Amino acid sequence: MTSPALFLAAVLAVGLAGCSSSAVVYTASRAEAEAAVSEARRAVDRADRSSALAARYDLGAAAAALEAGDLDEAVHQAYLTRRRVRVAALQATLDDAERSVSGADAEGGRRLLITDAFQTAQTDLRPAPREAVARVASYLLSHPHRVVLVEGFTDSTGNEKQNLDLSVRRAAAVKAQLVEAGIDPSRVVAAGYGQAYPVAPNDTAEGQRQNRRIEITVADRLDALPTR
C-alpha cells in the first residue's frame, strides 16, 4: 500500500514538476496575471485552515509579484498556491480514510465520507478518493469478518433518473475496485441514491463537488449495515 508520504511525493512530482521559474516560460498579460492571482486567492479562501496556512506564503509571493509588475512570476506563484491547496486537500482525504477505517475496530462500524470523488457525470474515482478506497480494501483484507456498504451520490446536474443511474454505477465502480483488490463480493453491498441526501447546497460549484461523493460504512455483519 502506498504510504501518504509516498503518495503525496508522487502528486508533488507530477503537479509541481517543471514549475521553477527557470523551467517555465510565461508571456502573461496584466489581465491574465490578475485573474491567476484572484483564482489563487479564492482557492485559499475556500480551503480549510491547515490547507490555507500551507499556501498563504505562495499567495503572498504572487500578490507581491503582481504589485511589482512581474507578471510571469505572479502567474507562477499563483499556480503554486492552487497546487499546494490541492495537495493539502489530498492529504486531508487520506487522513480521514485512515481514521475512519482504523476506528472501525473500536466502534464496530464507521462511515467514511469521500467528497469530490468524481468529475461531473463520471464514474471514475479521482486519485485521492481511489487511494482512500484502496486503504479500505487493505483494512478489509486484514479484517476478514468485516463487511461494507458502499453508497454512491451525485450533485443535482441532470435529471433525477439519470442521476440515480449514475450513482448506482459509481457505487458499483467502487465495489469493483474492492473486489479487484481481493475482497469477496459477498462482503460488499453497493447502492446508489442519485441526488438525494445532499451534504451541501447544490447551488454552488463547491457544494456540487461535495455531493459528488461516496460513503463507505464498515460493520461486523451485513444485517448491521445502516439503511436509508
Domains, the chain: 4-91 (no CATH), 108-224 (3.30.1330.60)
One-letter amino acid of 81: T
Can you give the pLDDT at residue 94?
A: 58
Query: Would you state the pLDDT for residue 51?
Result: 56
Angstrom distance (rounded) from CA 42 to CA 36: 10
Amino acid 21: pLDDT: 39
Look at residue 29 in the predicted model and tell me its pLDDT. 79
Per-residue pLDDT, 135:
86
In the chain, which residues have pLDDT < 50? 1-25, 102-108
Q: In whole angstroms, what is the distance from residue 161 CA to residue 28 CA? A: 45
Q: What is the pLDDT of residue 165?
A: 97
Any idea of the CA torsion for 196, 200, 202, 207, to the nearest 10 degrees? -130
Per-residue model confidence (pLDDT) at position 103: 47
Tell me the three state secondary structure of residue 98.
helix
User: What is residue 2's predicted lDDT score, i.e. its pLDDT?
Assistant: 40
User: Chain centroid to CA 224: how far?
Assistant: 28
Q: Which amino acid is at 28?
A: A
